[in-house]
Structure 1
Amino acid sequence: MTKTAHSAPDLAPPPTLEVRGGRKNFGAVHALRGVDLVARAGEVTALVGDNGAGKSTMIKCVAGIHAFDAGEVLFEGEQTHISSPADSSALGIEVVYQDLALCDNLDIVHNMFLGRELKKGFRLDESAMETRAAEVLASLSVRTVRSIRQHVASLSGGQRQTVAIARAVLWNSKLVILDEPTAALGVAQTEQVLQLVRRLADAGLAVVLVSHNMNDVFEVADAINVLYLGQTAAQVRTRETSRSEVIELITSGSLPAGAAAAATLSTTNANGSTTA
């Protein structure tokens, strides 16, 4: 009696976020026409594409500002539906937009707890908020701010980004989406923010980095997802591709035949797990 050989079970955890065939229409405008995205814990996944490719719509759908019209969204392997920002936050998804949404007239602590203040009775629990803010900044190895009680108006662009990112991870988030975090920064401040992005992934979070800057992408990203005219052209491992191939995907949506092997989309196994 012969035994049938069975492959070893896939023990890898499911991706933190997986979008399959996401579609979004605004009237006659097809903003997303079939997008796929895999974001894993402990990794930075860059989301790139030309203007109008659908990056902003994509992250707004994941954030619950818009709802996908079709497609599947899985969070930690479980199918889910995100129809509001509250749904997104409840899953552990936080988004840092380009405008940062910081209040210049408030200090770092109050900005980090803005809208989610801790209270003791009828008063704000200033001590608890200050302690928690300091712990989060320390956990991210942030040493560029003089005092967590200084007003945001006195901070540099890089320091503002740091505060916005720290606020995003304050609430036990599992996925952090960063929308062009280095767009308005100088060289030194850009490097500080990229180091922070890398530390987020090293701490076990899934990070999606939206960026036009290929230098930033290749410095910190583990995977690169390329959108082209509302569709996913490919999701590739950074170490298995080149800048010229990514730029070709951004501009044409495809690669020459000789480079096609590197542009392998995330594939789904029979058991539902996804590999990139």
Structure 2
Amino acid sequence: VSGGVKCLRMCVKGPVIGEFVSRLMPLLQNCLQPDKDPEMRMSIFTMLAKLLLDAANTLDSQGLFRNESEKFLCDVLLPNLVWQAGRTAAAVRTAALSCLLALLHGGSITPGQVHTPFLRGPQVLSALTEDSQMGRLMACRSLSCILRLIGTSLDPEALNKIYPELLKRLDDSSEEVRSVALQALGLWLSSLTEDYSPQVYAPHLQFLFRELIVYLDDPNSSVQDQVLEILRKGSSIDPALLKTEVEAVRDRHRCSLYCDQLLQHISPTSAETPADSSK
């Protein structure tokens, strides 16, 4: 194995590696199993992350890696995100998350190849609770990428498993994690289609709105601005519900400015009658 890894490190420069994907994948699958040496796995994941970010000019230079990307995701990356105790295990998960993010960003995996693996296991959502700030940050970013790729094709039940985990990150000790989690929540709202009935899923929307409205009174003004923008965009889903929730807490906020701006945005929409909408 060690000899194969050394060989791999020597040949992964430039597009030539794309010609040897069929030989490379079994090697990676062998070297990156969770029971293999953690230092070796971290090293390989770090190397692969760089390649995957520029996949068109490296791993996928011949268009061959994309045929293997779902298998790589299922058999290599996701098993390495399963939690194990210890700092070394946490470092490996962080390295695997960097590789996952690179795979999602690099353009060598299709929405269809992401859809089934994401639904099959909880590893990405579980990674949102990583001990390391970097791990949580990359998990949030990966989830944002996944929502961009397949958000509108996820059924309501799958979507409803995502937003509560993102809401937990709004109290993160890292402002950067909080900001990226809010971006992901905005993408979550943008993923809702006609299948997501505001009447059927009203309890979920009510919980989401209530939790987000709390952060309209956050000490961090950038968080307030971000939440306001998210709720403005999300108001079209159920404006009457959002208006009710904002009005219920407006007077309890230290400053009502953001609540008032949101209510001003909602009011014309929520006040519209069928006759008005036909004009």
Higher Rg: 2
| Relative contact order higher in (CA < 8 Å, ≥ 6 apart) | 1
Structure in which a larger fraction of residues adopt strand: 1
Structure in which a larger fraction of residues adopt helix: 2
Q: TM-score, normalised by structure 2?
A: 0.28
